[in-house]
A = this chain, B = another copy of it.
Amino acid sequence: VSATPLISRLAIIGVGLIGGSLSLALKRAGQVGEAVGYGRSAANLQDALRLGVIDRIAASPAEAVADADMVIVAVPLGAMQATFEAIRPALSPQAIITDVGSAKASVIAAARAGLGECLPRFVAGHPIAGAEKTGAAAAQAELFQNRRVILTPSPETLPAALEKTWQMWQAAGAEVLDMAADEHDRLLAATSHLPHLLAFALVEMLARRPPQEDIFRFAGTGFRDFSRIAASDPVMWRDICISNRAALLDALNQYRAQLDSLAVAIETSDGAALQALFQAAKTSRDSL
C-alpha cells in the first residue's frame, strides 16, 4: 500500500460485475481514496454500498464524476455516447476517462462525439474477463488477476492518460497490453463475438423444435460446455454485434464458407478431409 493512492476519487458509471470488481481490486491494493458509483438500478447501488464496492452513491453521472481523477465508464456499448455526453460538463480538468466495452472502434467514435475537448484524456480499454453472474453483488477483487486487459489508445490520447490507466489495471492484477482499436475488434470478433453468436444461434434453433421432443434431455457435457455462453446477457450481446458489425460480419462470413466446405465433405463422405480438419483443430485446442 502506497502512502498516496494512484487514484484519489474513483467514479464508476455502471457498478456491475466489471466496474465493481475493478473498484474492489483497487481498494484492496490501497490505490483508491474514495469510490463513487452511479447506475440505473437503485437496488444494485445499495448492494454495492453495503458490500464496500463503492463508498458513496451519486444521484447522476455528472454528480459521480465531480472531482474524480479517474472515471470508469462500464455501461453497455449502446449507452456509451449518451453517458459521455452526460459526464462531459462535470469532468474535472485532471480526470482520466476509460471504459470496459468489448468493442473498441465504436467506443472511440462515441467518445469523439460525446467527450469533445476531454477526448485526449480518454483511454479505450477492454478487460478480457467475465463471469456468469452479473451485478455489484457478484463483484470480486480477484476477477482480473492474471487476466489480460487490452488498451486501444487513439492518436489523440495523451501519453500520461494511457500510462495512468495502464498502472490502474496493473494494480488490479491484470496483464496490460495495447494495440490498435481495429486490430482489437478483429481479434475479439474471432475469439469471442463469433463464438457467442454461434452458441446463441444453435440453442435458439434447438429451442424452436416441437416441445414434445424435449431435445435438451439428451444434452451431454459437450453440449453444456459449448452452449454455456448462450446464457449471456442478450442486451449486452445485441450491442456488441451492432458495435462490432464489420469485423463480426467478416468473421461470420469466413465461418459460413468453412461450413460450406464441411457440408461438402460430409455429403461426399470425404473422411480424409474431415479427419485432417478435426486433427488440426484438436492440435490447436490441445495447445491452449
Contacts and interface: CB of A to CB of B under 8 A. Distances in A.
B227 A288 contact: yes
A195 B226 contact: yes
A148 interface: yes
A109 interface: no
A204 interface: yes
Interface residues of A, number: 86
A222 B227 CA distance: 9
Q: How many copies does the complex hold?
A: 2
A203 B238 CA distance: 24
B187 A215 contact: yes
Contact of A281 (B203, B226, B275): B203
A167 interface: no
Contacts of A194: 202
A256 interface: yes
A271 to B, nearest CB: 5
A163 interface: no
Interface string A179-210: 00000000110111011111111111111110
Given A252-B266, A284-B206, A277 B218 contact: no
Interface of A: 78, 128-130, 148, 150, 187-188, 190-192, 194-209, 213, 215-235, 237-239, 241-242, 245, 248-249, 252-256, 258-260, 262-263, 265-267, 269, 271, 274-275, 277-288
19 contacts: A130-B220, A191-B215, A191-B219, A191-B223, A192-B219, A195-B222, A195-B227, A196-B222, A201-B281, A204-B280, A207-B280, A224-B288, A228-B285, A230-B281, A234-B278, A238-B271, A242-B269, A249-B266, A252-B263
